Amino acid sequence: MRTSRSEFVSLRGRRHHVRLWGEADAPTFFFLHGWGDVGASFQFVVDALRRNWRIIAPDWRGFGQSQWNEGAYVFADYIADLDALLTHYSPEQPVQIAGHSLGGIVASLYAGIRPERVSRFANLEGFGLWVSAPGETPDRFGKWLQQIRDNNPAFRPYANREDYAARLCADNPRLTPARASFLAEHSLREVDTDPGASAGFVFAADPRHRWISPVLYPLEEAKACWRKVSAPTLWVAGRDSKIMKQFADRPDDYRERMACFAQVEERLIDNCGHNLHHDQPVIIANLLDEFFLRDLHINAD
């Protein structure tokens, strides 16, 4: 297992935890995790990379070891946090980014908003959200307001890390027990010191992330950003993911989203669900090695 280290940086006045692998002078890419995940879970891909990289994987605000908000979360903050992160680690040079799920959604928007800052982009099933009917808006806002008023969100507690690892394996047959144990080690926090809570573990995130977003997903606005992306884009999907099964019923939607990117290559991974970095880390590592090294004119081997 390749050794990582942690550091904490202040981004926009908030303390963010960042996981790093590799030496400072090595070729670099940023790895952005999805909802309900942490930067450390890219360990399996990192271990399979053939090239020595410097990899920078933050915990998004309110996830992992990063600082929580005082209240609700606003999606635009992720874009501003990413901008601050890139300014901190690479203030002058354009960067290479791999983003999974939420991380891919954020990075795809950022790459169109600040195209000069992103040289290459690997999108691991961060293809945007589903569009809701405008008529849902009043009910969504009403539910959101009630959640803010009640202010009692919670994640499911576990008696120990082993129980959480067992649940991960039950939910995903492709996940090995060793990988599940690693995720349990890095994805949970103890709650026996929390007032009123029973001893045990919960997911290391602010449970207010579970609150509904009152704002409907703006697909057309997202597409406008995607059309501004100048970076070559690697579009990677798991054939067995729930997202791809939903897109199977709306193939035109899938193709229209991908076609917004001017320079895009599609890769479909067999025997792979939504968590591509857990299910097929060797394949993902090989794709990233080859894709990110092209501009560097270095062979992955």
DSSP annotation of 136 reads: G
Q: Could you tell me if residue 13 is inside a domain?
A: yes
Q: Could you tell me if residue 185 is inside a domain?
A: no
Q: Could you tell me if residue 97 is inside a domain?
A: yes
CATH number at residue 4: 3.40.50.1820
pTM summary value? 0.94
Look up the domain containing 296 and give its range. Answer: 1-131+218-301
DSSP annotation of 231 reads: S
Q: Could you tell me if residue 188 is inside a domain?
A: no
Residues 57 and 290: beta-carbon distance below 8 Å: no
What would the two tokens of residue 255 be? 């193709």
Residues 35 and 103: beta-carbon distance below 8 Å: no
Question: In 3D, which of 122, 46, 38, 54 has the Cα closest to residue 93?
Answer: 54
Question: In 3D, which of 252, 283, 248 has the Cα closest to residue 267?
Answer: 283
Q: Which residues contact 2 (CB under 8 A, 6 or more apart)?
A: 21, 22, 43, 46, 47
Bridging pattern class, strands 233-238 and 118-124: parallel
Residue 184's pLDDT is what? 97
How far are the Cα atoms of 47, 93, 179 from residue 43, in angstroms, in the given order? 6, 25, 9
DSSP annotation of 43 reads: H
What would the two tokens of residue 56 be? 């920078």
3-state SS, residue 121 = strand
Q: Give the CA count within 13 Å in the CB-facing half-sphere of 194.
A: 12
Q: Could you tell me if residue 269 is inside a domain?
A: yes
Question: In 3D, which of 9, 4, 87 has the Cα closest to residue 42?
Answer: 4
Residue 295's pLDDT is what? 80
Dist CA 255 CA 268 (whole Å): 13
Residue 298's pLDDT is what? 62
Question: In 3D, which of 239, 244, 221 has the Cα closest to residue 108?
Answer: 221
Q: What are phi and psi of 167, to 5 degrees?
A: -65, -40
What would the two tokens of residue 94 be? 């354009």
Task: Give the residues of the chain that fall short of pLDDT 50.
Answer: none
Q: Could you tell me if residue 233 is inside a domain?
A: yes
For residue 208, is it left (φ>0), alpha (ψ between -120 and 50) or beta?
alpha
Q: Could you tell me if residue 158 is inside a domain?
A: no
Residues 214 and 141: beta-carbon distance below 8 Å: yes
Number of domains in the chain: 1
Dist CA 184 CA 165 (whole Å): 6
Question: In 3D, which of 38, 98, 106, 112 has the Cα closest to residue 76?
Answer: 106
Q: Could you tell me if residue 186 is inside a domain?
A: no
Residue 144's pLDDT is what? 96
Dist CA 217 CA 301 (whole Å): 42
